[in-house]
């Protein structure tokens, strides 16, 4: 048995995958397949890649940064204190004589969703009371005629060109 053959058998016994063995030999896995075909040795069984020693080493190092860290370090009381503190720090608004944060006001009046109120206040620059009481506009937009659609604009432009050409032809054919 030559030294390459002994090395390959040793790697298979140590649970190295075929690709790792090829890497240690300094070749591609396809080249190792060709080498194994030409070597006069019985078939060598390699461990699948996910069960190899290299994969186990990678999995061991993967969570090394989490060693010694308690997974659930926040108690329910800590979480509740954080929620309360966040609620205290949130900006307060007054609408219809009621003071509270925007989520509290939306929950109290329940007319629209929180995202709708924030979008109306930010994009449309509505006041809070107006944003809380404005009716939904998505249905109106969905059912409205869209005159600014690119296809409609292209059709209007084509129609205008057609009308201009007809007017030009009629003016040329008119008797003088």
pLDDT value at 169 more than 60: yes
CA distance 91 to 86: 10
pLDDT value at 96 more than 70: yes
Domain assignment of residue 157, yes or no: no
127: containing domain: 86-140
Number of domains in the chain: 2
What average pLDDT does range 51-73 have in this prediction?
Answer: 75
pTM: 0.38
Domain assignment of residue 50, yes or no: yes
Lowest mean pLDDT among 39-43, 77-81, 141-145: 141-145
Predicted local distance difference test score (pLDDT) of residue 129: 92
Q: Which residue has the tokens 């996910």?
A: 50
Predicted local distance difference test score (pLDDT) of residue 4: 82
Shared domain for 48 and 92, answered yes or no, is: no
Domain assignment of residue 158, yes or no: no
Domain assignment of residue 74, yes or no: no
Predicted local distance difference test score (pLDDT) of residue 80: 94
CB 134 within 8 A of CB 120: yes
């Amino acid at each position: 048995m030559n030294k390459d053959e002994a090395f390959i058998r040793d790697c298979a016994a140590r649970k190295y995958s075929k690709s790792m063995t090829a890497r240690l030999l300094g070749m591609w896995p396809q080249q190792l397949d060709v080498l194994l075909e030409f070597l006069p040795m019985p078939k060598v069984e390699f461990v699948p890649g996910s069960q190899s020693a290299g994969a186990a080493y990678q999995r061991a190092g993967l969570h090394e940064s989490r060693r010694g860290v308690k997974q659930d370090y926040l108690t329910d009381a800590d979480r509740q204190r954080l929620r309360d503190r966040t609620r205290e720090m949130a900006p307060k608004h007054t609408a219809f004589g009621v003071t509270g944060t925007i989520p509290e006001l939306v929950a109290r009046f329940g007319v629209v969703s929180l995202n709708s109120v924030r979008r109306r206040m930010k994009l449309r620059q509505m006041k809070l009371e107006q944003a809380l009481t404005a009716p939904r506009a998505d249905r109106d937009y969905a059912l409205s005629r869209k005159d600014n659609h690119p296809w409609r604009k292209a059709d209007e432009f084509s129609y205008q060109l057609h009308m201009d050409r007809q007017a030009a032809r009629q003016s040329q054919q008119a008797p003088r």
